[in-house]
Amino acid sequence: MRVTVCELPHETDALDAAWAALCEHTAAHASELVLLPELAMVEAVWEFERFDAARWSAVEVLSELQLRRISELRATYVIGTRPTCVDGRCLNQGFLWSLADGVRPLRSKYFMPQEPGSWEATWFQKGDADGSSIRPALCCRSPQHRSPLRRARSI
């Protein structure tokens, strides 16, 4: 199986170019599985110390819109995470997308850092300690851990 693991910027202008490059890469390398970074394609709300309901709603809507673009990758499967509310709980939920089934929820992140640049416990409630048989390691990166290199790599 050909797998592509990538990084994507959260900034809208940079994201458009990076997404186009990722789509070209996955097509050129016939990627069957793409592993997206945590909370790809949305504003990095966890970098803000205070929760903002309007900002949360905006990233939830944007995430749903961006999920519609997953097929542009031309991969059979895509794994990532998304901000979503389930039963009134704001979650960082893993998902598996496939051509056959679309988006299927996986487990939601359980361990939430609470430190400058990564206020995840402010923005997300803990998911269940157990979950599905597919358990992506979910981790928001703080700004100082972002790589300036945003290239895809297939293995």
Name residue 106's amino acid.
Answer: L
pLDDT at 12: 87
| Model pLDDT, residue 137 | 52
Is the pLDDT assigned to residue 96 strictly greater than 60?
Answer: yes
The encoded tokens of residue 62 equal 């944007």
> What pLDDT is recorded for position 128?
82
**pLDDT of residue 148 exceeding 50:** no
Q: Indicate the DSSP class of residue 114.
A: -
CATH number belonging to the domain at 3-142, selected among 1.10.10.60, 3.60.110.10, 2.60.40.10, 3.10.310.10: 3.60.110.10
- Greater confidence (137 vs 149) lies with 137
